[in-house]
Amino acid sequence: MARKFGGKFSPNGATSDPRDAAVDPARIRAAGSRGGILYVPPVVLVFTSLNAGPATLITALAGAGVLTLAVWLLQEGLRAEAAYDARKVARRPALPRKMLASALTGIGVAIAAYTGDSGVVESALYGIAALSLHVAAFGIDPLTDKKVAGLDRFQQDRVARVVDEAEAHLTQMTAEIASLKDRRLIERVSGFQRVARRMIATVEQDPRDLSGVRRYLGVYLMGARDATTKFVDLYQRTGDAAARAKFEALLDDLEENFAARTEKMLLDDRSDMDIEINVLRDRLQREGVSLKMKGND
């Protein structure tokens, strides 16, 4: 017998609402800003070593480089952690960026200390202290996959793979439309993406619907991405108002279709899926987007 997973729309009525659980890209980007202040020490290290002789300057430059890399890794790690925390199903980060950042911070501080009056032992102790403080301030990376109770490892991997692919398509759409620097279009694409992310969140809440929506989250999001790329290329060259109107109409159709499918998922209604898929496929193909259907996982 099929098992209904927890949620507001499940019989047991948990408080979580999948429609409100979508990942917020702005919040994820903002998560990395916490470590921005740490770009200051490498700059200070270089400037205070300019008149200390070539050997000290080269050492300081090496230390500054290590510290700068540590800050970049930290910010990427914080963003990856925010995305991990926001999802119901997620793989642990493949690269432990925050832990690498802590190690590099310790090395960078040790090098910086060595450019002053500290010896090797004292510099190493400074480095260990910096590493420890870094871990205390920012923590370590998630070390386990986030799972939904009742799913085996294979099913968990399927959900995570589909979600990662869908997010990659949405991220590329954002990058493409941002190149136009048109606020209205950017907000319009963001509106569609919010609807698509509600579908992602709903699948994470109840993965039983995964097979039914794989085309939406894979093939059709890829089609939406390709349509965005084609439109941006044309609009940058011509500024064609008709092309813009067609693109906005396409977004309206996509958003309506994705929203309707998500509502049916929330109501546990799997009717007319083939009809909806054919309508969406034909709409994208009318825009000149070639869709290559994938087989089952």
Residues 189 and 275 in one domain: yes
Residues 89 and 174 in one domain: no
Inside any domain, residue 12? no
Residues 115 and 92 in one domain: yes
Predicted confidence (pLDDT) per residue in 222-276, tens digit: 888 998 999 999 999 888 889 999 999 989 888 888 888 888 776 665 555 554 5
How many independent structural domains does the chain possess? 2
Q: Which amino acid is at 117?
A: D
Inside any domain, residue 2? no
Residues 52 and 117 in one domain: yes
Q: Report whether 112 contacts 67 (CB < 8 A).
A: yes
d(CA 219, CA 225): 10
Residues 30 and 97 in one domain: yes
Residues 165 and 275 in one domain: yes
How far are the Cα atoms of 28, 176, 242 from residue 39, in angstroms, in the given order? Answer: 20, 29, 46
d(CA 147, CA 182): 39
d(CA 173, CA 170): 5
d(CA 221, CA 75): 28
Residues 126 and 213 in one domain: no
Task: Tell whether pTM > 0.75.
Answer: no
Predicted confidence (pLDDT) per residue in 143-197, tens digit: 887 766 656 667 777 777 888 888 888 989 999 999 988 899 999 998 999 888 8
Inside any domain, residue 167? yes
Inside any domain, residue 223? yes
Domain that holds residue 106: 18-138
Predicted confidence (pLDDT) per residue in 82-138, tens digit: 888 877 767 788 899 999 999 999 999 999 999 887 889 999 999 999 999 999 999
pLDDT band at 280 (very low <50, low <70, confident <90, very high): low
